[in-house]
Chain A
Amino acid sequence: MDTEQKIKLVNRLVAGTAIFATMVAIILLLNYYQTSKLDPVESGVIGALVERLDQEPNNEALKLEIRQLDLLARKAYFTSAWQVRTGGFILLFAGILLGILLKILYDLKASIKEPDPEELDNQAARKNSTRWIWAIGGLVFIASLISAYITQDHLANYDDFKLAQLQAVESETASNEIEVVELGVGNEEPGIGNEDAGVGNEEPGIGSEEPGVGNRESGIGSEERDQGPGTTDHGPDPRALGPGSSQYPFFRGFMSNGVSFHKNIPVEWDGASGSNIIWKVAIPRHGYNSPIYWDNKLFLAGGDAEAREVFCYDRNTGEMLWQKLVTDVEGSPAKAPKVTSDTGLSAPTMATDGKKVFAIFGTGDIIAFDMNGNRVWARNLGVPDNHYGHSSSLICWDDKVIVLYDTNNGGKIMAVNVNDGKTMWQHKRNNRISWSSPVLAEIDDKMVILTTTDPLIAAHDLKTGEELWQVECLMGEVGASAAYGSGLVFGANEYARLVAIKPGAEPEIVWENDEYLPEVATPVESDGLLFIGTSYGVFACYNALTGEKFWEYEANQGFYASPIIADGKVYAIDMDGLMHIFALDKELKVIGVPKLGEKAVATPAFADGRIYIRGNNNLYCIGQK
């Protein structure tokens, strides 16, 4: 075969390989386009079927159909992806082959190039080279110099930065103190005090039905109240109610610590058959907040994009006493903010001081009604930038409603006046968003508010909002609130850790553990035992003083509702509505697992002989029939 014939042959091979590579390339492009369009995760058909499944959760045939469709879509997707990848390799090899053939063709056609007839002027070349070395070397130096002079050294400014931060905090604290003074003057206005006193007098005797209320109305109770911080005439001081308190004024009950002093709590019921269900009523509007009550009035809130409402029930009969829409709040957004369905617009639990009841919603609206459903005041705190939805519950103490308002745009804890909703103090927080609630605790004879967030557990003075101490120990999306007991503050969050902190001016972590961590449910402590409910179904008991794990228990479903200790037992309701009841003991003793009959994520409220549970759709009163 002579050279011409070789060239002809290689030419043909080149053309054939080029056509092949081009075809593979076109097929690959089409396949890639198809794969990118046929994303099974975005499949409209499956989406529609999943929506249908939400309405028919027990439709097994539908589940099977979805699974089969999903499997089919995934198979198609991965087959296409495999084709793209395999095709890529074929194309690569075709490209290499083409390159080799082109090289051979080029070599066959190549002839020896004649040298440049002009002699290289070595002197001139060296002169030119010198110029270019100067030019490029100079360019490197000048570019470096310019970059050096336009660069700012922010590390060198760190001391100034710290000073500015400190001044900002001091300035903030100073302005907060001024606010307290100003509003304190307002409290001295005689009209407000008289009005409240009047409201209090409207409901005499209700509390006296309960055994513990006698203490409240005795002289001892009054004395204690007078000594308390921020003492005013605004309703009873829950501390004065004593261990026999019959009220459940906010999230996790008296003192918001998850420990109820009520007795004769039922341990058996069945929602489906109605066994030990004293009454059951449908809740008109969805929400995840937990029930609270004062005397015979039980309160719930509900909310969605259409409207937000507050409901008041007779807790003895389940009769709806009043139902109020939250409308015409100045500053409230025309359109409800976008929130996820698992948080919604009405996740925070309400609070009451026995004269008024307070509710807050994911729109930023906070509202107060009197016990008869008359609106007292309402304001909007600014629409919270919260990707799940605002969920921090309220606490009411003396003349203050405590609001923890952590958002993506910064956080704050504030106290608003129970009478007019005006800010009494406000403390900006340098932390990430959280979904936890403020918790009351009396530490060293001082009432404090405990908060958990990323990255810290902090204590604030209830009277002024001043941050007393903080410990950086948490991270992530903190949903569980703090717990207090045995002289220790407990905080935990999933993917972070569980810590026990000895509070004080210089708080210290006494112990920590990361075996079982809650996502939403707040830990609870009593009698030296600490209980944790996780969102993946493990319920664990620890030695509160040392962190030693005493026992663990695995439920089939996770816990979002916080566990409550009552009547010497621990009550923890899982998301399927099964109440897991354990003895308050360092040995695992399961007393019972009664069923509600519907899903539940809200924390139950306890009264003597009664449990009030909010299911996803109904409110239940459980007790011995």
Chain B
Amino acid sequence: MKILMKIVLVICLMWIVMPVSGQSQARFPKPEFDTGYVQPDPSTPEPRALAMDYFDVFVLILVLSLATYFAIRRRSRGGILLLSVFTLIYFGFFRNGCICSIGAIQNVALTLFDPNYSISLVALLFFIIPLLFTLFFGRTFCAGACPLGAIQDLLIFKPISIPVWLRKGLGLIPFLYLGLAVLFAATGTDFIICRWDPYVGIFRMDARFIMIVLGVAMLLIGLFVARPYCRFLCPYGVLLNWTSRFSKYHMAITPSSCINCKLCETSCPFDAIDIPQEQAPASARQSDLKKFLVYLLIIPLLMGAGAFIGYKSHVFLSKAHSDVYLAELLIKHPEVKNDIDNLDVQAFLSAGETLDTLVKKAGVIRAKFKTGSWILGAFMGLVIGVSLLAQTTHRKNDDYRPDKGNCYSCGRCMDYCPVEK
């Protein structure tokens, strides 16, 4: 098995090397002497036909429907596996990981806050359709229609169980990521979900070196920690988690009644099975109630503290915007104007814009950050408060059943259930 691990590592290293050659080819200079060859006029590549974009929407609906069918009706892990392979090939390698529902969050955020930006119908559909499916059938999108989920799911090798306390703690990160992604998109700063997508470099066979390293590292981690991106980073997962909790037709481990045989207890690599729980003793219930009330009172305080910290952080966060960064650079280091290697500065100088105008633009952006940052801080305070609140509740549970919020409907557990329909 160690040999196999080494082979996997070698392959991963190869993936790092390949994009480098691609980049060098792209920058190949033309001959220095006249050859008589007429250089073609550079032109903008034709945009992808709209019909093909709608075809993507059709494929998404088809894959979601099949995933739902395999998870709920057919109860076929094999079907979901094959669907994952198709999704990986089509939405991953063929469509280069774009468009994707995760990134569509940013398009939606930008269109809500920037009147000059109009979201495409395709992006909107990619954002909404998985949520609608999840609202009724659980996270079948994660099971078979998400290329990021597929690449991770197919490479789960020997998953280890993550302690519940660590899961709960790390579970705050996707909320923060979601908040930052919305803030940066709404202020027109950046689409950070796309920029820092660890797998898109692998889909495209080309990316910055750091992103390739990040992607390979995530895949290696994913060999043992199943779906690390989905569980501890994915901002779309936050929305899917919320909607999935209300899903009426979520897949079940057992096709009829659970016999508590415990066979499925360790089958989920994502620790998303709720095991049977006894009723808590009366003393514990009283203590939980007190804690519940305390945390209920603390939540506004946490939100206030978060809003204050967010407000204070707006200067720091706004530096991610190129105009703010450039304006501050030119104020702090005016001599940088003479640095011909600083392309940002030279592009600004070449555009003929004055520093006054740039500073004004930067001021407008900073004002947006001022508002957005305190809202983000308050949101994080609320998330922390609600997460604490959730730890004070104890629900009696008689059966082994999926944790609706965190279950990806992958169907692994169903194969372990001996109960016939």
Binding site for B on A (CB under 8 A): 14, 18, 21-22, 25, 28-29, 32, 35-36, 41, 50, 63, 66-67, 70, 77-78, 81, 84-85, 88-89, 91-92, 94-95, 98-100, 102-103, 106, 112-116, 120, 122-123, 125-137, 140-141, 144-145, 147-149, 151-155, 157-158, 161, 165, 387, 408-410, 430, 432-433, 454-455, 472-473, 475-476
Tell me if B316 and A155 are in contact (CB < 8 A): no
- Inter-chain contacts of A387 with B (CB < 8 A): 340
Tell me if B313 and A147 are in contact (CB < 8 A): yes
Cα A133 to Cα B295 in complex, Å, equals 13
Tell me if B14 and A88 are in contact (CB < 8 A): yes
Query: Is B338 positioned at the interface, with any CB of A under 8 Å from its CB?
Result: yes
- Inter-chain contacts of A116 with B (CB < 8 A): 265-266
Measured CB to CB, the closest approach of chain A to B32, in angstroms, equals: 7
Measured CB to CB, the closest approach of chain B to A285, in angstroms, equals: 27
- Inter-chain contacts of B164 with A (CB < 8 A): 125, 128-129
Measured CB to CB, the closest approach of chain A to B307, in angstroms, equals: 11
Cα A131 to Cα B302 in complex, Å, equals 15
Cα A29 to Cα B16 in complex, Å, equals 11
Tell me if A158 and B157 are in contact (CB < 8 A): no
Tell me if A158 and B359 are in contact (CB < 8 A): yes
- Inter-chain contacts of B309 with A (CB < 8 A): 141, 144-145, 148
Cα A63 to Cα B32 in complex, Å, equals 12
Measured CB to CB, the closest approach of chain A to B107, in angstroms, equals: 26
Q: A98-B11, A475-B352 are in contact. Are A78 and B359 (CB under 8 A)?
A: no
Chain B's closest residue to A142 (CB) is B309
Q: A18-B7, A21-B7, A85-B22 are in contact. Are A475 and B349 (CB under 8 A)?
A: yes
Measured CB to CB, the closest approach of chain B to A111, in angstroms, equals: 11
Tell me if A88 and B18 are in contact (CB < 8 A): yes
Q: Beyond the given A120-B275, A128-B165, could you list 5 further A-B residue pairs with CB under 8 A, ordered by the A residue number?
A: A21-B11, A41-B28, A102-B4, A149-B312, A455-B352
Pull 11 A–B residue pairs with CB atoms less than 8 Å apart, ordered by A.
Answer: A85-B18, A102-B4, A103-B157, A106-B157, A116-B266, A133-B388, A137-B172, A140-B380, A144-B316, A158-B359, A455-B349
Q: CB within 8 A of B18: which of A28, A131, A132? A: A28
Measured CB to CB, the closest approach of chain A to B332, in angstroms, equals: 5
Cα A112 to Cα B266 in complex, Å, equals 8
Binding site for A on B (CB under 8 A): 3-4, 7-8, 10-11, 13-15, 17-18, 20-22, 24-25, 28-29, 31-33, 35, 154-155, 157-158, 163-166, 168-170, 172-173, 176, 205, 262-263, 265-267, 275, 277, 280, 284, 302, 305-306, 309-310, 312-313, 315-316, 319, 324, 327-328, 331-332, 334, 337-338, 340, 349-352, 354, 359, 362-363, 366, 377, 380, 383-384, 387-388, 391-392, 394, 416
Measured CB to CB, the closest approach of chain B to A169, in angstroms, equals: 12
Chain B's closest residue to A105 (CB) is B4
Tell me if B168 and A144 are in contact (CB < 8 A): no
Tell me if A154 and B20 are in contact (CB < 8 A): no
- Inter-chain contacts of A29 with B (CB < 8 A): 14, 17
Chain B's closest residue to A387 (CB) is B340
Tell me if A70 and B157 are in contact (CB < 8 A): no
Main secondary structure of the interface of A (DSSP, over half): helix
Measured CB to CB, the closest approach of chain B to A405, in angstroms, equals: 14
The 4 residue pairs across chains A and B that have the minimum distance between CB atoms: A132-B169, A128-B165, A148-B312, A137-B384
Q: A92-B205, A148-B316, A155-B328 are in contact. Are A136 and B338 (CB under 8 A)?
A: no
Measured CB to CB, the closest approach of chain A to B179, in angstroms, equals: 10
Measured CB to CB, the closest approach of chain B to A378, in angstroms, equals: 28
Q: A67-B33, A106-B157 are in contact. Are A85 and B352 (CB under 8 A)?
A: no
Tell me if B165 and A131 are in contact (CB < 8 A): yes
Tell me if B15 and A123 are in contact (CB < 8 A): no
Tell me if B380 and A25 are in contact (CB < 8 A): no
Tell me if B316 and A140 are in contact (CB < 8 A): no
- Inter-chain contacts of B331 with A (CB < 8 A): 154-155, 157-158, 161
Q: CB within 8 A of B338: which of A125, A153, A409? A: A409
Measured CB to CB, the closest approach of chain A to B11, in angstroms, equals: 4
Tell me if B284 and A432 are in contact (CB < 8 A): no
Cα A63 to Cα B33 in complex, Å, equals 9
- Inter-chain contacts of B155 with A (CB < 8 A): 99
Cα A432 to Cα B348 in complex, Å, equals 12
Cα A129 to Cα B327 in complex, Å, equals 44
Tell me if B359 and A132 are in contact (CB < 8 A): no
Cα A50 to Cα B388 in complex, Å, equals 74
Tell me if B388 and A134 are in contact (CB < 8 A): yes
Q: CB within 8 A of A99: which of B154, B334, B377, B383? A: B154
Tell me if A165 and B328 are in contact (CB < 8 A): no
Chain A's closest residue to B324 (CB) is A155
- Inter-chain contacts of B350 with A (CB < 8 A): 454-455, 475-476
Tell me if A133 and B21 are in contact (CB < 8 A): no
Tell me if A70 and B31 are in contact (CB < 8 A): yes
Cα A152 to Cα B265 in complex, Å, equals 53
Cα A32 to Cα B302 in complex, Å, equals 55
Cα A14 to Cα B280 in complex, Å, equals 50
- Inter-chain contacts of A147 with B (CB < 8 A): 313, 316
Measured CB to CB, the closest approach of chain A to B330, in angstroms, equals: 9
- Inter-chain contacts of B17 with A (CB < 8 A): 28-29, 32
- Inter-chain contacts of A41 with B (CB < 8 A): 28-29
- Inter-chain contacts of B158 with A (CB < 8 A): 106
Chain B's closest residue to A456 (CB) is B352
Cα A40 to Cα B8 in complex, Å, equals 34
Tell me if B11 and A112 are in contact (CB < 8 A): no
Cα A106 to Cα B22 in complex, Å, equals 35
Measured CB to CB, the closest approach of chain B to A208, in angstroms, equals: 50
Tell me if A84 and B21 are in contact (CB < 8 A): yes
Tell me if B11 and A454 are in contact (CB < 8 A): no
Tell me if B33 and A66 are in contact (CB < 8 A): yes
- Inter-chain contacts of B332 with A (CB < 8 A): 152, 154
- Inter-chain contacts of A137 with B (CB < 8 A): 172, 302, 380, 383-384, 387
- Inter-chain contacts of B265 with A (CB < 8 A): 115-116
Measured CB to CB, the closest approach of chain A to B279, in angstroms, equals: 11
Measured CB to CB, the closest approach of chain A to B394, in angstroms, equals: 7
- Inter-chain contacts of A77 with B (CB < 8 A): 28
Q: CB within 8 A of B391: which of A67, A78, A126, A148? A: A126
- Inter-chain contacts of B351 with A (CB < 8 A): 475
- Inter-chain contacts of B284 with A (CB < 8 A): 123
Q: CB within 8 A of B352: which of A99, A126, A149, A473? A: A473
Tell me if A81 and B25 are in contact (CB < 8 A): yes
Cα A94 to Cα B24 in complex, Å, equals 25
Chain B's closest residue to A67 (CB) is B35
Cα A102 to Cα B1 in complex, Å, equals 10
Cα A63 to Cα B34 in complex, Å, equals 10
The listed residue with most B CB atoms (<10 A of its CB), out of A91, A114, A136, A145, is A136
Chain A's closest residue to B383 (CB) is A137
The listed residue with most B CB atoms (<10 A of its CB), out of A36, A50, A63, A137, is A137
Cα A485 to Cα B397 in complex, Å, equals 93
- Inter-chain contacts of B302 with A (CB < 8 A): 137
Tell me if B4 and A410 are in contact (CB < 8 A): no
- Inter-chain contacts of B324 with A (CB < 8 A): 155
- Inter-chain contacts of A123 with B (CB < 8 A): 280, 284
Measured CB to CB, the closest approach of chain B to A69, in angstroms, equals: 11
Cα A125 to Cα B31 in complex, Å, equals 68
Cα A201 to Cα B184 in complex, Å, equals 77
Q: CB within 8 A of A135: which of B31, B169, B363? A: B169
Cα A152 to Cα B316 in complex, Å, equals 8
Measured CB to CB, the closest approach of chain B to A452, in angstroms, equals: 14
Tell me if B416 and A112 are in contact (CB < 8 A): yes
Cα A114 to Cα B264 in complex, Å, equals 10
Measured CB to CB, the closest approach of chain B to A453, in angstroms, equals: 11
Cα A77 to Cα B25 in complex, Å, equals 9
Tell me if A84 and B11 are in contact (CB < 8 A): no
Cα A116 to Cα B354 in complex, Å, equals 68
- Inter-chain contacts of A14 with B (CB < 8 A): 4
Tell me if B394 and A129 are in contact (CB < 8 A): no
Cα A133 to Cα B340 in complex, Å, equals 48
Q: CB within 8 A of A36: which of B8, B18, B24, B169? A: B24
